[in-house]
Amino acid sequence: MSAASPSPAPRRERAWIAAAPAVLMMAWGGNQFTPLLLLYRKVEGYSALQVDLFFGAYILGLIPGFLIAGSLSDRFGRKPVMIASVALSVVAALVLALGSASPTAMMLGRLLSGVSVAFAMVVGTTWIRELSSGTVPPAVAARRASLTITGGFLLGAVVAGLVAQWAPWPTVTPYVVQLALTAIAAIALARGTETAGPRSLRPGEKRQPRPIVDVAIAPEHRRRFLTVILPMAPWVFAAPALAFAVSPAIVVERLGGLEIAFAALLTLVTLTVGFLIQPSVPRIAARVGGASGSVGLGLLAVGALIVAANVAVQSPLLACAAGVLLGGAYGICMLTGLVEVQAMAGARNLAGLTGLYYALTYIGFALPAILSALAPTFGLTSLLVTVAVVASGCAALVAFSARRTR
């Protein structure tokens, strides 16, 4: 090897960077729709119910995508599935950009976007972890994956909100930006190193059938999964949903026509805190005996109480304060769960269990719709206080179980 040639070790340490831009852009494409919800109601005249249905179509794409992505990538490789994710994201962006006036097109675009994001979150984060294997500790590899996803959610929503508020053609321009950056990410993806795929059979060996959905949990881990992961996972995305889906509607009358920009600001505040707190999660876990999830759930409970108080006050500043706490809750719970689940998994079902975890986290995005449906009967303030009480109960359960099942 010549003196000018880079050594294999640095190349291996940087290998994960080839996968990261595509994962980031898939998350970008999925979450940029969030600050545009008010835009579509204002420009296209959609009702609140129709907008909720568009979001429901996204969930319909996510859940099966989460459950099958891991097995698909085990069979065909991480890279082909990520290429499929990028292709679906591009098609979804084109449909949404060109079909904003058609409810059918919006449903289809959001469905495709959901599948794309699911593939990226399961396969992309697994691929980043595998590309990082042997160069950094497993917890650091998991943090790289979680930060990449969080960064995509953050940048997509903030950029789309700002572009839609002030740029021309607000229903089209955000998708033009997304497509341009996705093209750059695809170039990096093409250089990624495959870490999985079909294995060559030895002479006389028969290929064993693999289930399409492989989410088996080893018996020794089941109790911890049921009492630590399950009570925490749905709150991962319930926290940011409270911050930038519920709070903006509470203060909309105080925003003077800047509701889209404010929704982007709340997303920026919430996910920036979620991004910045994740490197501190190992230290938090060390201080609380491994029960870092209980800390995140505690922050969520306090954040929900602040949102409840803001129903009467209607203060944009108070909404931002709640966003700080809810962002911390999201960041801590997201990374805690990802590290826990990937530690439970073996090489055979790493992607499958990661997909199951993400499927559980997205249940939390149903919280705004549940609150909206029940608010006329029970009142939004009472419901938000109830959310805080239930989250506190889950925090206590996670704290107790994390120590008992260490």
User: 405: buried, middle or exposed (CB in 10 Å: 19+, 13-18, 0-12)?
Assistant: middle
Mean pLDDT, to the nearest integer, of 205-225?
70
Mean pLDDT, to the nearest integer, of 284-299?
93
What are the helix (H) ranges across 229-364? 230-232, 235-241, 247-250, 259-277, 281-287, 292-313, 316-344, 350-361
pLDDT of residue 343: 85
For the stretch 99-128, pLDDT in tens is: 999 999 999 999 999 999 999 988 998 899
pLDDT at 50 > cutoff 90:
no
Tell me if 146 sits within 8 A of 128, measured CB to CB: no
pLDDT of residue 200: 43
For the stretch 12-31, pLDDT in tens is: 778 899 999 999 999 999 98
For the stretch 165-206, pLDDT in tens is: 899 999 999 999 999 999 999 999 999 999 875 554 445 545
pLDDT band at 209 (very low <50, low <70, confident <90, very high): low
CATH of domain 13-193: 1.20.1250.20
- Give the domain 217-406 fold: Growth Hormone; Chain: A; (1.20.1250)
Q: Round to whole Å and give the CA distance between 84 and 117.
A: 11
pLDDT band at 347 (very low <50, low <70, confident <90, very high): low
Concatenated DSSP letters for 92-158?
HHHHHHH-TT-HHHHHHHHHHHHHHHHHIIIIIHHHHHHHHBTTB-HHHHHHHHHHHHHHHHHHHHH
Domains 13-193 and 217-406 share a fold: yes
**Could you tell me the CA-to-CA distances from 163 to 63, 97, 171, 177 in Å, in that order?**
29, 14, 9, 9
Three-point CA angle 363, 398, 391, nearest 5°: 50
31's CB contacts (< 8 A; 6+ apart) are 152, 153, 154, 156, 157, 267
pLDDT of residue 5: 47
Tell me if 266 sits within 8 A of 397, measured CB to CB: no
For the stretch 258-276, pLDDT in tens is: 888 898 899 889 999 999 9
**Could you tell me the CA-to-CA distances from 209 to 332, 348, 352 in Å, in that order?**
37, 13, 15
For the stretch 316-336, pLDDT in tens is: 999 999 999 999 999 999 999
% of residues, the chain, pLDDT over 70: 91
pLDDT of residue 36: 87
67: left (phi over 0), alpha (psi -120 to 50) or beta: alpha
Mean pLDDT, to the nearest integer, of 81-102?
96
pLDDT of residue 212: 60
Concatenated DSSP letters for 61-96?
HHHHHHHHHHHHHHHH-HHHHHHHHHHHHHHHHHHH
365's CB contacts (< 8 A; 6+ apart) are 55, 59, 237, 238, 241
Which pTM value belongs to this model?
0.81
Domain residue ranges of the chain, discontinuous segments joined by +: 13-193, 217-406
pLDDT at 2 > cutoff 50:
no
pLDDT of residue 221: 86
% of residues, the chain, pLDDT over 90: 54
